[in-house]
Every structure is written in structure tokens, then in C-alpha cells.
Amino acid sequence: MRQVPTVKTLKINGRDLSGRQEETILDVARQNGIFIPRLCEMDGLTDVGACRLCLVEIKGQNKLLPACVTMVEEGMEVTTDSERLQSYRRMILELLFTERNHVCSVCVSNGHCEMQNLAQRLGITHVHFPYRYPKEDVDASHERFVIDHNRCILCTRCVRVCDEIEGAHTWDVMGRGIEAKVITDLNEPWGSSETCTTCGKCVHVCPTGALFEKGRSVAEMMKRRQFLPYLTLMRKENE
Amino acid sequence: MKQESTIVIDPVTRIEGHSKITLHLNEDGRVEDARFHVTQFRGFEKLCEGRPFYEMPSLMARICGICPVSHLIASAKACDSLLAVRIPPTADKLRRIFGLAQVTQSHALSLFHLSSPDLLLGMDADPAKSNIFGVAEANKELALDGIRLRQFGQKIIERLGGKRIHPAWVVPGGVSEPLSEANRDAILQSLPEALAIAERTLEWFKGTMEQFREEISTFGNFPTMFMGIVKKDNGLTFYGGKLRIVDASGHVVADDLDPTQYDDYIGEKVEPWSYLKSAYYKPKGFPDGVYRVGPLARLNVADRCGTPRADQELAEFHELQRTAVLSSFHYHHARLIEILYCIERLEQLLNDSEILSKHVRAVARPNALEGVGACEAPRGTLFHHYKIDEQGLIRWVNLIIATGHNNLAMNRSVLQVAKHFVHGRRLTPGMLNRVEAVIRCYDPCLSCSTHAWGQMPLRIQLVSPEGEVVDEVARA
């Protein structure tokens, strides 16, 4: 017998909305055209709540909660765009810009970058923190792709797509805190990875210009992500 | 009491970038030595190490906001040789169009915005009026012509590359987008107005030359060699060909030099008092290997322009002097002839039957680990030289920019002008403006912005060896 979905009713920004109990606040907001910024979440991949950009306020709770991993509950009252949230989001983005070396004007993803678009949408004109200017490597050893750690924001989309969709688990994260970085295999050059299938999914889910196709010049890297929900759906149907 | 002293002009105004001039006076108050110091440091050769070479054209374009296109072209040509490809003919022509538009707008900037105050209002004009606004007051049409001509060039760049400054359109292997028919037609429509401006400005300029006899005879009027790229038929070009060097008498010193072998014949010397290196022709050594590049040099090395109106003007230009045309004052004249050439040449290229072809990019992996690209930037010959590793990451870069070639000649020009015009212990704005004006002839591009148009404060102090300020002139 087909299971009847349990529906929860809630308020987002004062609007009365409903969602299924297995849905997150972000899912319901998205279905109803309410914008909540995010960089690590991606439809078709498991959610990790890493970027903290989707934090929302929930009435009765002191803590801000990430909308991508918080399930809807009956009677929930959510605010997604208070002045406090907006200033936190700008701060998070500014910190991301200072953490490594993001130079939009000469980046392969200029004009097509999720982080750049978000910064523009949130009205960031200046970064108020000192830049760290770390010395980061570029690994161009792969035949077709390049990873530029200068532009990586550690969203781990590449790690998840490689593991969950491609099943190769070439990517992972090494180190802790500010030392953390994404690696291929056991921190070997990407070009000598034995697990990489050269499928390119990681490149296309990457929100910035950290992963790109070799031979792309400035502003030329367009990412195509339509494949992901489609692949996930086909797999579910086959199960 | 007679004593030695130094005059410092800091900053030099109405040029592109940051510099100062020092004049050393002897005990009789006469100028003994002069130096043109470039006081800014950029570091591009170092900061692009480790980057994928595909990014280089756009990265290098950031060197300059006035002539990003020249850097795009020289860099893309260096990258073409890393790919070891022959780019599609249409891409080659589109890059040429891009370059010609850039030369036009850059020359317009130099002549109208930076130098026309000297030419129209005179070298002794009130410094407060010596700017494009002063020109607009005195001769509205001239100022408008300058603005329109610069806009003409910038619009072409925008139509091809998507934006006027730092377009990312030129890429290794060609260009990223073909030219649309609508854009081709729009550019063609804008040519007649630009041509009319070029013609009437040239006429006006030739009419003013009589007033500047003294300047013509002292503004860098000395024998040097001249270097420029010429086409196979020894005609004028901005895009590519072989290098040619002529001496002061106009005789060819070296011909058919391969620009990629520049290191064999061009040396660079570092002076402790300037961030700008001085280039010299190696076979003659330093400093005898002094040569000039840019508009004056190009017209001295080229046998012809290859377009009807520019060729007529070139013939008249060569009448100025039986030898090579030596006075740097004539850079202005040469610049105007080149603008004429650019507009005529644009028309030829835009009417080319292949110009709308969609095949504008050659795709390849890096096939060579070292590449050199050379072209003629508005201010002279530009070299980009890259070495990459097996992964295609930049390991080493050397750039020789036009202003570097002209450094020795600019220093000597400053000395010549200062010796002639600066006397005694009283300074007049006219004296010092001439020292700056000779630098403007070369249109040096010392940085990447156009912020200096004459409003920057100029302060000149005459300082005794004990540090006492003997005289001071300030421009606010």
C-alpha cells in the first residue's frame, strides 16, 4: 500500500506554507520561491550544512539553524531574511573571500561563479577583514581538469558527488581547520589518481573556479549541473 | 654663493603612471644632468608564476587600463606558440581589428587629453588651464573631437570583446567569439566620422608646428636608432612581422630580425635610481645601443603604410628631414598619421570576405614549453616571453614594454630640454612644463590607469646641497 505523506504546516517569513515531514526548510522555501543563499548544498547530493550561509531564525529557538539540514516541523515559524541574518551572511562570504586568493577579474569562472553571484546579490562591495593571501597550489597534472586550491571554499560538493553519484570516492578532505584542503586519493597528484574516472562531475558541481576544464581562459568556464537531479532520479527509479 | 643643486619634478603630470624628474644644476646654475625616475613597481613577471598559461592574456591585460588590448595580443601570441598552432585566418584579422581600435583610442588619449593643452594653449600656459577642460574652453571642437575619437576606438573594442577595458576576448589559439554582422556594420558606419576627425586634427596640428620650432629642435632631437615591426613588404603593421632597426641617417642597421629571438639583440640594464629597466641594442652595447620605438620609430622604419591617405601623409612626414625624423616632438605628428592609417586599415579588414567566419579558435594542448609573442603596442614594440612546465603552469616570464625601450632616449631628451630651457636659480612653470612635455611626446605608459590628466599637484623644489629650499614652484 502506498504510504501517505505526512504534511507539516509552517510559516516562512509570515507566509503559511506546508511541506512533507522529510523535507528541509530549504526544500520548502525553494518550492515557494523564497530565496535562501547557500554554497555547499546542492539538489541531488546529501546535505552537510558546511557553509552556514543558509542559517535561519526559528521562533522560540536562540540558535540559528541551517535550513539545508533542518526538517520542517508543525507550527514552525521561520525567518530567512532578517537584518541579523543578512549581516551574518555577508560576514561569512567576506571571510570566504579572505581565506584564500579569489581574484574574480582573472578567474575562469568570472561571471558564472556562485560565490561571486551571491556576493553581488547580498550587496557586498568591500571586504572588511584583512586578506590572508596564503600560498596555495594549482594541480594541473590531470589530463583534462585542473584544481586551483586558491579558489576552493571547502564546500565538499566534489567529495560528495564523486562518492555518492560516481561512486569513485577520489576526492576527500585532509587536515583540520584552516589547514583543511580537498585531496585526490591519498593526497597524490590528480593526474596519477587510480580511482578517478575522469567523469568531470566534480568540475561541474564546484561553485567557484576551483575546479575547471583545462584550456578554459578567463570567464570561459560555464558549469552544467542539470545532470545531477536527473541522475539521482534515474537511480531511484532503478532501485 | 655659487653651489650645486638639484631640481625635482615630482610627480610628472599628464602622463600615464607615476614618475619624477630630477635636474642636477652645476655651480653656474646650468643643468648638468637629468634623470627620469619611474617610481612605481608592479611585479607582474613574478606574480603570475604558477598560474595556468591559459589565463595569461587576461592576467597580463591587467598591466594596463589604456592598452590592455596590446597586452592581450602579445600574450595570446606567446600562448599560440606554446600551443604551437596556426590560428584561423579570421581570428588573426579580428585580433588586428582589435589592435587597430586600441591604437586609435590610445593615440587619441595621448594627443588630445594629455598633450593638446601644450599644443593648443602653449608651453607657457597657466598650469591650472593646461588640461582637457582648458582645451574645451579654448577650442571646443578640438576637445570634442578627441573625446569622440577615443570613444570610436573604445566602442570597437566593446563590440568585439564585450567591454571596453580588459575584455577577455583574445584567447590562446584565437578569439573566443566571432564578429556578428550587426557589429561589423555598426563599426563600418562609425568610420567616416573618425576619418574626418583624424584628417582635420592632422591639418590643425601641421598648422601649429611653426610655433614650436624651438621645441622641435630641442625635444629629444638627437641621433639614435629606431626599432619597429614591419610587414613582409616592409610596410607599417601593429600585429606581427619581422623587426627592423634603422640608424639616425635612416639606413637599415638590422633587418628581418625574428622577434622571438629578441634576447639575442636586446639587452636590459637596471639602474639603481629607477624601477624601469633601460633596453639597448646589444651589438652596440650600453648606452650606445640607444634606440627609440613607438609612432616615430615605426614611421622611420616602415617603407610605406599601405593605405592611400596615410601613405600621402607619410611621404610628407619624410620631407621633414632627409635622414630619419629625429625630433621626438614629431611623435605627435607620427601618432596622427598612424590614427589615419588605423581607420583606413580598419575599413579594409572589416570589408574582408572572411571576417564574419565562425571559425575563430584553434584548440590544442601545450606543445611547446617556451613561447614569445611580440606586437606593436601604441607606444612601441611589446614582447611577452613565457616558459611553462609539463602541466601548462607558468614557470618564468619576461616582459619588455615599449616604455622600457624608450627609457634611455627619454632620459637623454629630458637632459636636452632641461639644458636648453632651464636656466639659473629661478624656475618658471613654462620651463618645467617643457621638461614634462618632452616626456609626453613618448606617451610613456608607466602604469595601468588614466587618472593623471593634469590635476595632480606638481611641486618643484630647488634644493641646495645643504637641504635649503632655494626656490619652489607649486601647482595645485
pLDDT given at position A231: 86
- pLDDT, one tens digit per residue, over A69-120 is 999 999 999 999 999 999 999 999 999 999 999 999 999 999 999 999 999 9
Give this complex's ipTM: 0.89
pLDDT given at position B476: 39
Return d(Cα B297, Cα A228) in angstroms, integer. 59
* Residue B360 near residue B86 (C-beta atoms within 8 A): no
In terms of CA atoms, which chain B residue is nearest residue A139?
Answer: B391
Contacts of B171 in chain A (CB under 8 A): 217, 220
- pLDDT of residue B445 exceeding 90: no
Range of the domain at B9: 5-42+407-475
- pLDDT of residue A1 exceeding 70: no
Which residues make beta-bridge pairs with B383?
A: B374, B400
Averaged pLDDT for residues B202-230: 96
Cell readout for A30 is 525553494
Contacts of A215 in chain B (CB under 8 A): 54, 363, 365
Averaged pLDDT for residues B443-458: 43
Return d(Cα A68, Cα B401) in angstroms, integer. 52
**B464-472 CB contacts, 8 Å cutoff, 24+ apart:** B464/B3, B464/B5, B465/B3, B465/B4, B465/B5, B470/B5, B470/B425, B471/B425, B471/B426, B471/B427
- pLDDT, one tens digit per residue, over B15-46 is 776 778 888 888 887 888 888 877 667 788 88
pLDDT given at position B292: 97
- pLDDT of residue B451 exceeding 60: no
- pLDDT of residue B460 exceeding 70: no
A214/B54 Cβ within 8 A: yes
- pLDDT of residue B68 exceeding 50: yes
Quickly list H helices, B84-129.
89-108, 116-121
- DSSP structure string for B250-266: S-EEEEEE-GGGHHHHE
How sure is the predictor about B429, in pLDDT bands with cuts at 50, 70 and 90? confident
B55/A214 Cβ within 8 A: no
Q: Choose the closest CB to A105 out of B62, B365, B391.
A: B62
pLDDT given at position B82: 97
Return d(Cα A153, Cα A98) in angstroms, integer. 11
pLDDT given at position B450: 24
Is there a domain that residue B393 lies in? no
Is there a domain that residue B457 lies in? yes
pLDDT given at position B433: 87
On whether any CB of chain B is under 8 Å from the CB of A216, the answer is yes
pLDDT given at position B458: 42
Instruction: Return phi, psi of residue A57, to 5°.
Output: -95, 135
Is there a domain that residue B69 lies in? no
Q: How many CB atoms lie within 10 A of CB A7?
A: 12
Contacts of A141 in chain B (CB under 8 A): 391
Share of chain B above pLDDT 70, in %: 92
How sure is the predictor about B470, in pLDDT bands with cuts at 50, 70 and 90? low
Return d(Cα B372, Cα B391) in angstroms, integer. 18
Averaged pLDDT for residues B48-62: 93
In terms of CA atoms, which chain A residue is nearest residue B165?
Answer: A105
Return d(Cα B328, Cα B297) in angstroms, integer. 10
- pLDDT, one tens digit per residue, over B221-278 is 999 999 999 999 999 999 999 999 999 999 999 999 999 999 999 998 888 777 778 8
On whether any CB of chain A is under 8 Å from the CB of B392, the answer is yes
- pLDDT, one tens digit per residue, over B323-375 is 999 999 999 999 999 999 999 999 999 999 999 999 999 999 999 999 999 99
pLDDT given at position B416: 94
Share of chain B above pLDDT 90, in %: 68
pLDDT given at position B469: 63
A216/B62 Cβ within 8 A: no
Cα distance from N-terminal residue to C-terminal residue, chain A? 18
Find which of B79, B360, B391, B395 to mutate to test the A interface (most A CBs within 10 Å of its CB): B391
Average pLDDT of the residues of chain A? 95
Return d(Cα B12, Cα B451) in angstroms, integer. 13
- pLDDT, one tens digit per residue, over A140-168 is 999 999 999 999 999 999 999 999 999 99
B-facing residues of A in 175-194 (CB < 8 A) are 191
> Does residue B20 or residue B406 have the better pLDDT?
B406
Nearest to A205 by CA among A178, A182, A235, A236: A182
> Does residue B21 or residue B196 have the better pLDDT?
B196
**A52-56 CB contacts, 8 Å cutoff, 24+ apart:** A52/A92, A53/A89, A53/A92, A53/A93, A53/A118, A54/A26, A55/A85, A55/A88, A55/A89, A56/A25, A56/A80, A56/A85
* Residue B398 near residue B387 (C-beta atoms within 8 A): no
Domains of chain A: 7-81 (3.10.20.740), 86-238 (3.30.70.20)
pTM for the structure as a whole: 0.90
Nearest to A105 by CA among B156, B95, B60, B384: B60
Is there a domain that residue B128 lies in? no
In terms of CA atoms, which chain A residue is nearest residue B173?
Answer: A215
To the nearest whole Å, the CA of B77 is away from the closest chain A CA by 14
Averaged pLDDT for residues B6-10: 82
> Does residue B313 or residue A236 have the better pLDDT?
B313
Share of chain A above pLDDT 90, in %: 91
Average pLDDT of the residues of chain B? 89
B365/A217 Cβ within 8 A: no
How sure is the predictor about A124, in pLDDT bands with cuts at 50, 70 and 90? very high
On whether any CB of chain B is under 8 Å from the CB of A222, the answer is no
Cα→Cα distances B126→B117, B129, B423, Å: 10, 5, 20
pLDDT given at position B466: 62
- pLDDT, one tens digit per residue, over B373-398 is 999 999 999 999 999 999 999 999 99
Share of chain A above pLDDT 70, in %: 99
Q: Establish, for the pair of chains A and B, how many residue pairs have beta carbons separated by less than 8 Å.
A: 49
Contacts of B166 in chain A (CB under 8 A): 105
B51/A138 Cβ within 8 A: yes
pLDDT given at position B226: 98
pLDDT given at position A2: 67
To the nearest whole Å, the CA of A152 is away from the closest chain B CA by 15
To the nearest whole Å, the CA of B393 is away from the closest chain A CA by 7
pLDDT given at position A220: 93
Contacts of B52 in chain A (CB under 8 A): 138, 140, 146, 148, 214
Is there a domain that residue B447 lies in? yes
Nearest to B68 by CA among B146, B132, B136, B161: B161
How sure is the predictor about B402, in pLDDT bands with cuts at 50, 70 and 90? confident
> Does residue A75 or residue B429 have the better pLDDT?
A75
* Total domains in the fold of chain B: 1
- pLDDT of residue B453 exceeding 70: no
On whether any CB of chain A is under 8 Å from the CB of B43, the answer is no
Is there a domain that residue B21 lies in? yes
B55/A108 Cβ within 8 A: yes
- pLDDT of residue B452 exceeding 50: no
* Least confident span in A24-28, B436-440, B447-451: B447-451
Order of all β-strands in the sheet with B458-463:
B31-38, B19-25, B5-10, B458-463, B469-475
- pLDDT of residue B463 exceeding 90: no
- pLDDT, one tens digit per residue, over B150-190 is 999 999 999 999 989 889 999 999 999 999 999 999 999 99
- pLDDT of residue B455 exceeding 70: no
How sure is the predictor about A193, in pLDDT bands with cuts at 50, 70 and 90? very high
The CA R_g of chain B, rounded to the nearest whole Å, is 22
- DSSP structure string for A42-92: -TTS-----S-TTEEEETT-SS-EETTTPBP-TT-EEES--HHHHHHHHHH
Averaged pLDDT for residues A56-79: 96
